Copies of this chain bind each other. A is one copy, B any other.
Amino acid sequence: MNLRELSERLNLSQTTVSRALNGYPEVNEATRKRVADAARLYNYRPNIRARTLATGRAMSIGHIIPFSKQSEMVNIVFADFIAGAGEVYSTHGYNMSLSVVRDEDELSAYRGVAEKGAVDGIIVHSPARNDPRIAFLADLDIPFLVHGRASEVTTPYSWLDVNNTRAIETGTQYLLDLGHHRIGLINGQERMDFAQRRRDGYLSALRSAGIAADETIMRSGEMNEPYGYTSTLDLLENDSPPTALVTSSIVPALGIRRALEERGLKMGRDISVLCYDDEISYLPNGCDAPIFTAMRSSVRNAGRRCAEMLIEQINSATPELRTELWDAELVIGTSTGPLLSSV
Contacts and interface: CB of A to CB of B under 8 A. Distances in A.
Nearest to A98: B96
Contacts of A216: none
Contact of A97 (B76, B97, B254, B287): B97
A52 interface: yes
A102 B105 CA distance: 34
A4 interface: no
A54 to B, nearest CB: 9
B87 A67 contact: yes
Nearest to A254: B254
Given A74-B79, A287-B226, A49 B53 contact: yes
Given A65-B86, A72-B281, A251-B282, A116 B45 contact: yes
B45 A65 contact: no
How many copies altogether?
2
B118 A49 contact: yes
Contacts of A282: 73-74, 76, 223-225, 251
Most buried by B among A86, A116, A291: A116
A113 B98 contact: no
5 closest residue pairs by CB, A with B: A86-B100, A45-B115, A79-B79, A47-B116, A226-B287
Given A97-B98, A223-B282, A257-B258, 6 more contacts: A74-B282, A82-B98, A95-B118, A97-B97, A225-B284, A261-B261
Interface of A: 45-50, 52-53, 58, 60, 65, 67, 72-76, 78-80, 82-83, 85-87, 89-90, 95-102, 105, 109, 111-113, 115-118, 223-226, 229-230, 251, 254, 257-258, 261, 281-284, 286-287, 291, 300
